[in-house]
């Protein structure tokens, strides 16, 4: 081990000890189901109390707080996190300081796109963009994305999944000029992302579905190719606008959710900027026409209701 690495490990161990001590000192015995006992000279829990609640030795825990060269396992770190009542961010920080990969428990609640991220989507007026979940489900999108890729709102369940669209949706496949290259790259990226969720029932069900539905997925998935996420140029064959080119980027949402914001920026190539503007104008016009038509329909329906009510009252007065 180099002197630099030794110094880095020493700093990390001391910071780990200081972090544990700071979390211990903010707790009262009642917080962990213990009685306070006699008056305490220092705030928080005692080291032996943390050790007892976590199920570890007091001497070993003391060494850990002192920054000595002890190597806690994932199980011990998880027990300490629970004993010290750490939240998700604090547990992740604990594992990082200990030089361990933080566990990634299966989320218990559905993925949600919060208002600030939806505002960001809406602000990307001329750039198709959508939010992709941990399993590559499309969770939210803007009008520009709908103009290029279609209305995701018409898709339900697994059909609103990027991998499902790429490998099983003929219309989506026709959009992608370099389909095989893009599909192979997407599969490699998806495998890298799904490694955190091996054994997750939702992932396993999607993989089984794609294996059954797509010959290409069935042939390529066992090859176990893995890619890192890259930006690049994506060429589109749009059914109305024709050939278009976009630069695409993927941005991680830094909230521990594994969601990503995918943004496509139209390029001057293939006159894509002007074509994108035209599609958005057409979409806005169609939306206005649809709203006007719906309003007229509601007006007609309301008039019909009034007419039936008047006729009913007239018939009652005659009888």
Interval 217-228: pLDDT, tens:
999 999 999 987
Fold for domain 127-279? Beta-Lactamase (3.30.450)
Q: What is d(CA 310, CA 293) in angstroms, rounded to the nearest whole number?
A: 26
DSSP state of 176: B
Tokens, residue 26: 């903010």
Q: pTM for the whole thing?
A: 0.74
Q: Fold identical between 3-97 and 127-279?
A: no
- Mean pLDDT for the chain? 87
Interval 173-190: pLDDT, tens:
999 999 999 999 999 999
Calculate the CA 132 to chain-centre distance. Answer: 6
DSSP state of 85: T
Other Cβ atoms less than 10 A from the Cβ of 117: the count is 18
Tokens, residue 4: 């630099």
Torsions phi, psi for 198 (to 5 deg)? -55, 130
Q: What is d(CA 81, CA 105) in angstroms, rounded to the nearest whole number?
A: 14
Interval 8-36: pLDDT, tens:
788 889 999 999 999 999 988 888 888 77
> Per-residue pLDDT for 96 more than 50?
yes
Beta bridge partners of 233: 247
Q: Residue 76 — very low, low, confident or very high, per pLDDT cuts 50/70/90?
A: very high
CATH class of 3-97: mainly alpha
**Domain spans of the chain?**
3-97, 127-279
| Three-class secondary structure of residue 240 per DSSP | coil
Interval 255-301: pLDDT, tens:
778 899 999 999 999 999 999 999 999 877 554 544 444 454 555 55
């Amino acid at each position: 081990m180099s002197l630099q690495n030794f110094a880095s490990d020493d700093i990390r161990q001391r910071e780990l000890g200081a972090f544990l001590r700071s979390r211990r000192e903010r707790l009262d015995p009642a917080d962990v189901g213990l009685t306070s006992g006699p008056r305490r000279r220092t705030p928080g829990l005692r080291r032996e109390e943390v050790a007892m609640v976590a199920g570890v030795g007091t001497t070993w825990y003391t060494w850990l707080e002192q920054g000595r060269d002890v190597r806690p396992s994932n199980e011990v770190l998880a027990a300490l996190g629970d004993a010290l009542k750490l939240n998700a961010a604090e547990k992740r920080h604990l594992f990082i300081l200990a030089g361990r990969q933080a566990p990634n428990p299966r989320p218990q609640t559905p993925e949600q796109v919060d208002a600030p991220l939806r505002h960001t989507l809406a602000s990307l007026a001329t750039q198709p963009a959508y939010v992709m979940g941990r399993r590559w489900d499309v969770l939210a999108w803007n009008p520009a994305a709908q103009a290029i890729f279609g209305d995701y709102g018409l898709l339900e369940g697994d059909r609103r999944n990027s991998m499902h669209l790429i490998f099983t949706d003929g219309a989506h496949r026709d959009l992608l000029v370099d389909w095989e290259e893009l599909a192979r790259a997407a599969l490699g990226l998806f495998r890298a992302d799904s490694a955190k969720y091996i054994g997750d029932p939702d992932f396993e069900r999607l993989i089984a579905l794609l294996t059954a539905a797509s010959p290409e997925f069935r042939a390529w998935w066992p090859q176990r190719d893995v890619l890192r996420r890259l930006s690049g140029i994506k060429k589109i064959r749009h059914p109305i606008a024709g050939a278009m080119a976009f630069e695409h980027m993927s941005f991680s949402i830094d909230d521990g959710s594994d969601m990503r914001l995918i943004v496509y920026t139209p390029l001057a190539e293939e006159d894509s900027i002007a074509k994108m503007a035209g599609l958005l104008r057409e979409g806005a016009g169609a939306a206005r026409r649809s709203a006007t038509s719906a309003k007229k329909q509601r007006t007609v329906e309301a008039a019909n209701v009034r007419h039936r009510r008047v006729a009913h009252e007239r018939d009652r007065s005659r009888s």
